């Protein structure tokens, strides 16, 4: 994508105008550099490397050479990364070789087949490499399933908290706690894909069920008692963003809403293209290949408007409850990859809009360009100039004055 089309995406005429600071796609001015040194801090440009950082280490998988991958991440302008430290496995036996079962074979996050990993000392090595490059690490967990289903030993919030405390104790003992941006105690809680141990059984979007709220509050209190300065949260998926303002979330330091155009209006886009998150069946990607881009191109302003309005609603809720936002999975479509008939241009167009609009709001302290920002997504990864333009827009945005305090802001 050239600079002209990039700026056109940011200033889409159908949407409210964005901050002029986001239109500076070149190197920051001297005044920007001075502000970065002495003025308010800036948002972080974050990438999600989830469990791929350790699972995808076979030849050609993208993460076999961490130095190369992290150098390329830094070259693209990213200064934060979100990874899975596997707390349930670390707490059980950090030096065991664990056999992991595939979550899917249609996607290219993690491993598409059975795999083996040893978490320590690999986790220390990876965080240290990030630290040396000025890349802060957000910790989050998907509670990956191993052959013994160790995650099902989590019988309550006290067990989950104890596993996290042990993991963080080890990171602190290695002298790396200052490299941690935050700890997300469960990805997209309490979705059954990642938290099958939750009782009663709950699904994505049901984070505000009374049992879920009680579980989260207890776990957060236990971890905070041991690590009082570390920003903590549970990332939660919710279509109705106003829910965040209806509950006491004062023990959260941030929210990580995962936002995609494809899920808006009750999943309208996916219903039209007939995609149903198939994990071990290729028909979902066949339908994406044939229908996704034509569906978007037929009404681009409509789909862009859905995304923009979701971001604006989140910004309004953030202002209402005085809670900073971080978004690590976003902005166009949930599932995508390098595949016949799947092109990246329309995805990048929506991602420019989403990242720019979120950063311009002042409510986000870290912003991702997409959830495809990793070396295994070759078509997205190789466009280094596109990444640099997006990350420059993120890192030169202003943070709202009321968010220039608190645990997360202190760690930027």
pLDDT at 22: 33
Q: Specify if 200 maps to a domain.
A: yes
Tell me if 181 sits within 8 A of 232, measured CB to CB. no
> What percentage of residues in the chain have a pLDDT greater than 90?
88
3-state secondary structure of 44: strand
Q: Give 59 or 25, the one with higher predicted confidence.
A: 59
pLDDT of residue 243: 86
Q: Per-residue pLDDT tens for 87-143?
A: 999 999 999 999 999 999 999 999 999 999 999 999 999 999 999 999 999 999 999
pLDDT digits (tens, 9 = 90+) for 313-327: 999 999 999 999 999
pLDDT at 400 > cutoff 60: yes
Can you give the pLDDT at residue 8? 40
Please state the pTM of the whole predicted model.
0.91
pLDDT at 6: 43
**Mean pLDDT for all residues in the chain:** 92
Q: How many distinct structural domains can be found in the chain?
A: 1
Q: What percent of the chain has pLDDT over 70?
A: 91
Q: How far apart are CA 255 and CA 227, in angstroms?
A: 19
Q: What is the pLDDT of residue 18?
A: 37
Which neighbouring-strand residues pair with 99? Answer: 116
Q: Is residue 337 situated within a structural domain?
A: yes
Q: Is residue 29 part of a domain?
A: no
Within 8 A by CB and 6+ apart from 105, the residues are 112, 113, 279, 280
* Alpha helices (H) in 174-209, listed in sequence order: none
**What mean pLDDT do residues 80-91 have?**
98
Q: Which range marks the domain in which residue 271 is found?
A: 42-411
| Predicted confidence (pLDDT) per residue in 264-322, tens digit | 999 999 999 999 999 999 999 999 999 999 999 999 999 999 999 999 999 999 999 99
pLDDT per residue over 136-191, tens digit each? 999 999 999 999 999 999 999 999 999 999 999 999 999 999 999 999 999 999 99
Tell me the CATH number at 344. Answer: 3.20.20.80
Residue 9 located in a structural domain: no
pLDDT at position 9 = 46
SS3 content of the chain, % helix, strand, coil (to 5): 45, 10, 40
- The 10 Å Cβ neighbour count of residue 217 is 18
Q: Is the preceding peptide bond at 190 cis, omega within 30 degrees of 0?
A: yes
- From 1-10, 300-309, 312-321, 377-386, the region with the lowest mean pLDDT: 1-10
Give which of 382, 397, 283 is closest to 335, Cα–Cα.
283
Structure confidence at residue 65 (pLDDT): 98
Residue 39 has pLDDT above 90, yes or no: no
User: Dihedrals φ, ψ of 182, to 5°?
Assistant: -170, 170
**Does 380 map to a domain?**
yes
Of 30-34, 37-41, 282-286, 387-391, which gets the smallest average pLDDT? 30-34
| 157 closest CA partner among 207, 201, 210, 213 | 213
Task: Give the torsion through C-alpha atoms of 161, 162, 167, 171, to 10 deg.
Answer: 90
Residue 8 in any domain: the answer is: no
Give the per-residue pLDDT at 30.
36
pLDDT tens-digit series, residues 199-241:
999 999 899 999 999 999 999 999 999 999 999 999 988 777 8
Q: Please indicate, yes or no, if residue 25 is contained in any of the structural domains.
A: no
Q: Is residue 186 part of a domain?
A: yes
């Amino acid at each position: 994508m050239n600079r002209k089309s990039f700026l056109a995406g940011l200033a889409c005429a159908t949407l409210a105008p964005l901050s002029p600071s986001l239109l500076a796609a070149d190197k920051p001015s001297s005044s920007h550099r001075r502000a970065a040194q002495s003025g308010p801090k800036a948002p972080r440009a974050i990438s999600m490397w989830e469990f791929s950082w350790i699972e995808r280490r076979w030849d050609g998988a993208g993460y076999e050479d961490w130095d190369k991958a992290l150098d390329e991440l830094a070259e693209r302008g990213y200064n934060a990364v979100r990874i899975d430290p596997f707390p349930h496995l670390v707490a059980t036996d950090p030096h065991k070789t664990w056999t992991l079962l595939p979550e899917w074979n249609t996607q290219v996050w993690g491993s598409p087949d059975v795999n083996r990993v040893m978490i320590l000392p690999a986790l220390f090595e990876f965080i240290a490499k990030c630290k040396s490059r000025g890349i802060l690490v957000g910790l989050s967990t998907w509670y990956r399933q191993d052959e013994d289903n160790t995650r099902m030993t989590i019988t309550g919030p006290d067990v989950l908290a104890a596993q996290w405390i042990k993991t963080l104790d080890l990171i602190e003992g290695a002298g790396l706690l200052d490299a941690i941006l935050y700890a997300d105690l469960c990805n997209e809680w309490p979705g059954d894909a990642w938290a099958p141990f939750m009782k009663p059984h709950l699904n994505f979007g049901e984070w505000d069920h009374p049992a879920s709220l009680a579980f989260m509050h207890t776990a957060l209190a236990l971890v905070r008692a041991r690590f009082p300065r570390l920003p903590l949260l549970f990332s939660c998926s919710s279509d109705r963003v106003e829910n965040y303002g209806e509950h006491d979330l004062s023990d959260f330091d941030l929210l990580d809403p995962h936002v995609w155009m494809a899920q808006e209006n009750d999943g309208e886009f996916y219903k039209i293209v007939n995609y149903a998150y198939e994990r071990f069946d290729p028909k979902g990607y066949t339908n994406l290949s044939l229908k996704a881009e034509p569906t978007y191109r037929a009404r681009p302003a409509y789909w862009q408007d859905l995304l923009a309005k979701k971001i604006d609603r989140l910004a309004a809720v953030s202002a209402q409850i005085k809670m900073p936002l971080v978004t690590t999975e976003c902005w166009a479509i949930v599932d995508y990859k390098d595949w016949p008939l799947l092109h990246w241009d329309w995805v990048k167009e929506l991602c420019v809009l989403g990242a720019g609009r979120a950063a311009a709001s002042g409510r986000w302290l870290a912003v991702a360009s997409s959830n495809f920002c990793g070396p295994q997504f070759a078509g997205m990864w190789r466009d280094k100039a596109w990444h640099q333009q997006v990350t420059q827009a993120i890192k030169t945005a202003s943070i709202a004055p009321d968010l220039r305090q608190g645990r997360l802001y202190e760690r930027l």
